[in-house]
Chains A and B, each alone.
Chain A
């Protein structure tokens, strides 16, 4: 009896203890860790109070007893939390804790302040060090090496040929289940066509396949589909879900994501050409850094360089961290999240504020990765190979000496006088302008005296300016370049741009410098400085020319879309002063330490090389969509200096010394002649290919002032016309947003608790520890190449597993691991772990061939079985994890729309190219949200523009994922909006009309059969023929129209688009 009583009490006690323990662990410990321990722990705690173990609060602090167990009214802790008077309100400097949390503390104290913490070494909620936790967590299944299981031996003859089937059927055997019988041939033809190409099969293909006696007929059908461009389109779209594809950047302005569609086309080509998956991954992570990039020599494109557009997907906002801190931390989180989910199915982004709650990922891992992504600059890269333009540019180059000779001659023959130059009477010409001299002479009584005085003034000013410039300014070096227009290096003095249209032969003559337009205004370029603000100088000034929306851009803290960009609008190079320091007016204040960590650099870019062009509407001035599309844009850069004085270097006026040389003119005509001679000498020097920078200035002045004739002699015109016709043959350079490793790598500072104002130490750049923790090699910058190697290393336990699982999901509707983007503790475990490893191993051994992988899956018996499970199977395995039947699925949004187009006959099978706007209820030009044609001119849905602000409505209704976060698995909802769209959307009814008109040629009696074959890939049975024929008759009666009229069959067609057999694939 006593024994029983004792047991009863013991149980009761144990129960009470666990409730207290639970309360402490779930309500108290997390708050202590989050709110208190940063100050109240360690050897020298604030207020001499330690809260990191029981003995700490038992001892109390400076303010006396902290907690009196059982008596909430005593002790300072609760009073501090309640912000009562007489104690310092806690947590210090933060908002008062929620009332519920304070109540938790009160309850905790009242119940005896249970606290199991005996030592102070355990600040972690789990009570373990990270090392211990990590050691345990890294034993997770997905982090273990991929095993090489042998396919089990099974007794089913049909299911023992393909190793995949053997794994599957062995599991079915264990569960006492049998696979479904093989699917009918028409069903199979339709299924494989949708799975591989996202389009319905052509009726003829179905017919041929079903009629064929060739045992390899299915294999042949599969191989034909696998080489179609439509296969590439459909599978590229799958990957686009994973990489959160979008054509715009969202938030307020939905700024265009430059070159996104080139990345989409690159993916299509990659599937069509079966680019090995490891190569595709390498390119997306570090395509700009590969020693041997993949080049499409026929197209003249560096394919690998397109890959890093992967990072340039995701939402981006304009502005930088000095204007709005916290922005790029969000964007960076997007990179970490997309990278880790896409390639490794890991949720590293969960470790932004703390070590991962469940997986072997530390907060340091997050910032180690972040450092690699933020060490590279966000730029637009030029894809064109040198050979793409070389020959044409050589031909243009060869024509120039003759144009120079003829133009020079023509100018010398008819050089005008300065008196004819028109000036703005309202503005006084500055000393830099020759018209200043002329104006002074014109108003003087004594020309010779005025001339002398001017000569002295100019000589003195010139000397003074030269001295000042030499003293106060330091040349800035270390530029890097990109773009076809800059590939031939800086131009020599006197190089010139042939005008590609208009009456003049020459657009401008160039001093020595980087000019993008030396051979064509359509060639692009970007010129980038090293980091500017650590030179100790306040300003940078640049001497540059440019036009047609070329810009200089000041990039602070590697902002994705800097707002600090200004269009260049000058033919004569001019100095511009910019603030090189991080802090400037209009920004939030920075401490010295912050400023030291901020980076500022400068970039010149033509339209196509500017990652923020066209920018948000209105930034930098008006730019129409037409202007934005015109590829012409140019800049010329001469030099840059850094300085502390608050002005750019002054024009040294050296060009005027030649004007003033010799006797003083006594009259205005004589003076005019001096200007003529001055210009003449410059032109002669230029014609002789020995022009100085001053000569170039004078010639450009003469051109701008119309002192040289605007029109051409016939001989000159012939030469210029030839030049122009060749110039037109130059392909326009192709650019895409990407990354560039220009600066030394920078470790990223840990954001304490994820708070970006609370910076911890820099975390050395590198890969996630549990996946090897690869670090940048010496001399490497960001470390992305090393990262790419670590991800594509065949020993990486995740890369192959994750991808084969994705492919399985796309082929069978659910992955072996159902949570395709998460192989961690919160994800599902694999239904067939051996099969997953077998597939991953085979995938790598087959050279990461995506096509072979997909082929092996669709050729399995599992793929070819019927789309309905036995009742027994449905009861035993309702979610069909054992794949005892092929799952029925609704068509994906794009396939649904494409099927309607294919069946109506409107499908335009053209592949690739710029996206088209979807139809919109209302346009918004400020966001460039334009409305496109109702049926997108029949193009496949993958070519519909994806805008974050307003995704294509029809596609979104059918669960096309929102383009901001990786979505390896789409929702499949059933909502009224879908039925309403299919019943009432004008797109659908219009297509029904197209279809009805197309089948008008078919005899009315055959129409139902004909339409069934087109829509469902099979003929109707007699009951169906009767059902639809009756319906057609009813429609004719309602409309009081003939039974064969288009109007009647449009109704039939429309109904067929709504049939579930049309919308689903089984």
Chain B
């Protein structure tokens, strides 16, 4: 029920552009034929240990307890010479047809090993959560720049009023670095993440405060009042603001509908672990299932964050009690992430959906002292993430760390490279996806990043 209006004048066009409405009609992309159309980022916040998940290191067991020595100390790890190597508490096995190594910590993800493209040579900037989170999300350790998802939304965003392009499926815990991780910064605000909560109100203010008939009456009243005002004010921004109310009105219906999983089959819900008696697991599964629904509906970028189960700096941040809490985190997330990949696959969506599983860092292969409650500390010199679907080759490994998993040995890969590669699969040239800000064409990858073509076409099989 929009107001009748003449075509845009030049002035209105300019006003729309400044109001950020123009960019919503889609950025410059795609630059080339896309292989994928959506991304789901399963953010393993806190830093899951690479040497306990995807990067087996028998040497750690062999030399467990032996001091690492000065040569193994680095600024990219919390490290001192007197720390000792610490073998993995979990057994590694080769999985599937590909023989990809996955530890027993993640048995369900192991079951989809043939779909995983594991990068073992991730290298970060500083072994700190805030900085690494912002680096992963915004390409800069200082943040103050658009989120990965915002860039995707900006590059590919559809002109749909009923659905956001970038959705954050949160689990009651905001990762270090804060909301800035998910912000559009200087990109138009429509490209900020819309946050869907696992519990309570799904989205802020999405539930109408009024019964439908009351709200409709108010909107009609406002339409009459505002269109008269728009005439006297003679400003296009007012017209945009009026239309904006209709968009909001539609979102009230479309968002809860997408979030609602009641029409999903019992089997599907069980597959995601929504029947679990563990509250964390249940809600994590719920968010994963919602991720699939969102992607089905055309949302471009979905991020799922982990819950924080106990007083700690972030969920996977096991400086102590590695065994206990890594197992808890795995219990919460493993089944649902695997179910998501399988579900996407069975619906033919995995080919066009990139599932990215990543923490902001890995964990040290060493520890101050071997005890029952030993943990691992921050480590950014070689850690593992995986990509699945979206045209990425399954069952392959890219890059390698040294004998101990203590440093990158082959094919150092930065988060900029990963950003560039994921954008490439989406049909976006990371060097050409720019936004003029502060007088400069700014991009997600800045002057960095290189597309890892081998991951999609030819990679080193295990």
- Chain B, residues 214-233, CB within 8 Å of chain A (1/0): the string is 11011001101110111011
Q: Would you call A980 and B204 a contact (CB within 8 A)?
A: yes
Q: From residue 57 to 116 of chain B, which have CB atoms closer than 8 A to chain A?
A: 70, 73, 75, 80, 82
Does A1 make an interface contact (CB < 8 A)?
Answer: no
Q: Which residue of B lies closest to A588 (CB)?
A: B75
- Asked, given contacts A254-B178, A878-B14, whether A822 binds B241 with beta carbons under 8 Å apart, the answer is no
Q: Which residue of B lies closest to A877 (CB)?
A: B11
Q: Which residue of A lies closest to B180 (CB)?
A: A962
- Taking the closest CB of chain B, its distance from the CB of A819, in whole angstroms, is 7
Given the complex, which residues of A lie within 8 Å of B194, measured CB to CB?
Answer: 977
Given the complex, which residues of A lie within 8 Å of B249, measured CB to CB?
Answer: 979
- Asked, given contacts A826-B439, A962-B180, A972-B237, whether A986 binds B209 with beta carbons under 8 Å apart, the answer is yes
Given the complex, which residues of B lie within 8 Å of A825, measured CB to CB?
Answer: 439
Question: At the interface with chain B, which of A75-83, A543-551, A567-575, A1023-1031?
Answer: A1023-1031
Given the complex, which residues of B lie within 8 Å of A887, measured CB to CB?
Answer: 235
A976 to B172 alpha-carbon distance, docked (Å):
23
Does B268 make an interface contact (CB < 8 A)?
Answer: no
A984 to B204 alpha-carbon distance, docked (Å):
9
Partner of B19, one of A888, A974, A986: A974
Q: Would you call B244 and A975 a contact (CB within 8 A)?
A: yes
Does A5 make an interface contact (CB < 8 A)?
Answer: no
- Residue of A315, A984, A986, A1035 ringed by the most chain B CB atoms within 10 A: A984
Q: Would you call A981 and B190 a contact (CB within 8 A)?
A: no
Q: From residue 912 to 965 of chain A, which have CB atoms closer than 8 A to chain B?
A: 921-922, 924, 926, 948-951, 953, 959, 962, 964-965
- Taking the closest CB of chain B, its distance from the CB of A262, in whole angstroms, is 24
Does B348 make an interface contact (CB < 8 A)?
Answer: no
Does B457 make an interface contact (CB < 8 A)?
Answer: no
Q: Would you call B221 and A324 a contact (CB within 8 A)?
A: no
Partner of A973, one of B12, B172, B188: B188
Secondary structure type dominating chain A contacts = loop
- Chain B, residues 181-219, CB within 8 Å of chain A (1/0): the string is 001010011100010010011001111111101110110
Partner of A1035, one of B144, B217, B225: B217
Does B321 make an interface contact (CB < 8 A)?
Answer: no
- Asked, given contacts A589-B70, A1059-B226, whether A976 binds B248 with beta carbons under 8 Å apart, the answer is yes
Q: Would you call B177 and A1035 a contact (CB within 8 A)?
A: no
Q: Would you call A888 and B233 a contact (CB within 8 A)?
A: yes
Question: At the interface with chain B, which of A93-101, A463-471, A515-523?
Answer: A93-101
Does A1061 make an interface contact (CB < 8 A)?
Answer: yes
Q: Would you call A324 and B126 a contact (CB within 8 A)?
A: yes
Q: Would you call B204 and A983 a contact (CB within 8 A)?
A: no
A958 to B14 alpha-carbon distance, docked (Å):
21
Q: From residue 395 to 427 of chain B, which have CB atoms closer than 8 A to chain A?
A: 412
Q: Which residue of A lies closest to B439 (CB)?
A: A826
A980 to B194 alpha-carbon distance, docked (Å):
12
Q: Would you call B238 and A1027 a contact (CB within 8 A)?
A: no
Partner of B80, one of A315, A586, A924, A926: A586
A822 to B437 alpha-carbon distance, docked (Å):
11
A674 to B22 alpha-carbon distance, docked (Å):
92
Given the complex, which residues of B lie within 8 Å of A975, measured CB to CB?
Answer: 20, 189-190, 244
A824 to B438 alpha-carbon distance, docked (Å):
10
Q: Which residue of A lies closest to B431 (CB)?
A: A100
Given the complex, which residues of B lie within 8 Å of A819, measured CB to CB?
Answer: 439
Q: Would you call B144 and A965 a contact (CB within 8 A)?
A: yes
Q: Would you call B14 and A879 a contact (CB within 8 A)?
A: yes
A951 to B180 alpha-carbon distance, docked (Å):
10
Q: Would you call A1066 and B244 a contact (CB within 8 A)?
A: no
Does A347 make an interface contact (CB < 8 A)?
Answer: yes
Does B450 make an interface contact (CB < 8 A)?
Answer: yes
Q: Would you call A977 and B205 a contact (CB within 8 A)?
A: yes
Q: Would you call B142 and A1058 a contact (CB within 8 A)?
A: no
Q: Would you call B128 and A317 a contact (CB within 8 A)?
A: yes
Q: Would you call A974 and B179 a contact (CB within 8 A)?
A: no
Q: Would you call A972 and B450 a contact (CB within 8 A)?
A: no
Q: Which residue of B lies closest to A824 (CB)?
A: B439
Does A704 make an interface contact (CB < 8 A)?
Answer: no
Q: Which residue of B lies closest to A873 (CB)?
A: B11
- Asked, given contacts A317-B130, A1027-B221, whether A984 binds B207 with beta carbons under 8 Å apart, the answer is yes
Partner of B209, one of A974, A978, A989: A989
Given the complex, which residues of A lie within 8 Å of B240, measured CB to CB?
Answer: 974
Q: Would you call B225 and A326 a contact (CB within 8 A)?
A: no
A1059 to B215 alpha-carbon distance, docked (Å):
14
Partner of B127, one of A251, A324, A875, A1031: A324
- Asked, given contacts A252-B129, A826-B439, whether A325 binds B80 with beta carbons under 8 Å apart, the answer is no
Does A890 make an interface contact (CB < 8 A)?
Answer: yes
Given the complex, which residues of B lie within 8 Å of A325, measured CB to CB?
Answer: 75
Q: Which residue of A lies closest to B21 (CB)?
A: A974
A986 to B188 alpha-carbon distance, docked (Å):
26
A827 to B439 alpha-carbon distance, docked (Å):
6
Does A585 make an interface contact (CB < 8 A)?
Answer: yes
Q: From residue 809 to 828 of chain A, which have CB atoms closer than 8 A to chain B?
A: 819, 822, 824-827
Given the complex, which residues of B lie within 8 Å of A98, measured CB to CB?
Answer: 450
- Taking the closest CB of chain B, its distance from the CB of A988, in whole angstroms, is 8
Does A1055 make an interface contact (CB < 8 A)?
Answer: yes
- Asked, given contacts A826-B438, A980-B206, whether A888 binds B235 with beta carbons under 8 Å apart, the answer is yes
Does B141 make an interface contact (CB < 8 A)?
Answer: yes
Q: Would you call A1060 and B207 a contact (CB within 8 A)?
A: no
Q: Would you call B204 and A977 a contact (CB within 8 A)?
A: yes
- Asked, given contacts A975-B190, A980-B204, whether A251 binds B245 with beta carbons under 8 Å apart, the answer is no
Partner of B234, one of A99, A254, A869, A875: A869
Does A157 make an interface contact (CB < 8 A)?
Answer: no
Q: Would you call A1038 and B233 a contact (CB within 8 A)?
A: no
- Taking the closest CB of chain B, its distance from the CB of A978, in whole angstroms, is 7
Does A18 make an interface contact (CB < 8 A)?
Answer: no
Partner of A890, one of B75, B185, B237: B237
Does A874 make an interface contact (CB < 8 A)?
Answer: yes
Q: Which residue of A lies closest to B449 (CB)?
A: A98
Q: Would you call A1028 and B221 a contact (CB within 8 A)?
A: yes
- Chain A, residues 1029-1066, CB within 8 Å of chain B (1/0): the string is 00100110011000000000001001100111101101
Partner of B450, one of A100, A327, A874, A1063: A100
A327 to B75 alpha-carbon distance, docked (Å):
12
Partner of A1058, one of B178, B218, B313: B218
Q: Would you call A983 and B128 a contact (CB within 8 A)?
A: no
- Residue of A252, A333, A950, A1063 ringed by the most chain B CB atoms within 10 A: A252
Q: Would you call A1024 and B225 a contact (CB within 8 A)?
A: yes
A395 to B210 alpha-carbon distance, docked (Å):
64
- Chain A, residues 127-142, CB within 8 Å of chain B (1/0): the string is 0000000000000000
Partner of B412, one of A95, A964, A1054, A1066: A95
Q: Would you call B179 and A1055 a contact (CB within 8 A)?
A: no
- Residue of A953, A973, A1034 ringed by the most chain B CB atoms within 10 A: A973
Given the complex, which residues of A lie within 8 Å of B126, measured CB to CB?
Answer: 324, 326-327
Does A56 make an interface contact (CB < 8 A)?
Answer: no
A890 to B13 alpha-carbon distance, docked (Å):
18
Seed contacts A326-B126, A585-B82, A874-B9; 9 additional CB < 8 Å A-B pairs: A330-B142, A869-B234, A874-B11, A875-B11, A953-B204, A971-B20, A979-B247, A983-B208, A1059-B226
Q: What are 28 A-to-B residue pairs whose CB atoms are below 8 Å?
A: A250-B178, A317-B130, A327-B126, A347-B439, A824-B439, A825-B439, A874-B9, A879-B11, A888-B233, A953-B204, A964-B143, A972-B19, A973-B188, A974-B244, A975-B20, A976-B244, A979-B247, A979-B249, A980-B204, A984-B206, A984-B209, A1031-B217, A1035-B217, A1038-B213, A1054-B210, A1063-B241, A1064-B229, A1066-B235
Q: List B residues at the A interface (Cβ < 8 Å).
A: 9-15, 18-21, 70, 73, 75, 80, 82, 125-131, 141-144, 161, 172, 174, 176-180, 183, 185, 188-190, 194, 197, 200-201, 204-211, 213-215, 217-218, 221-222, 224-226, 228-230, 232-235, 237-238, 240-242, 244-245, 247-249, 251-252, 311, 313, 412, 438-440, 450
Top 5 nearest A-B pairs (CB, nearest first) are A826-B439, A878-B11, A979-B248, A251-B130, A949-B178
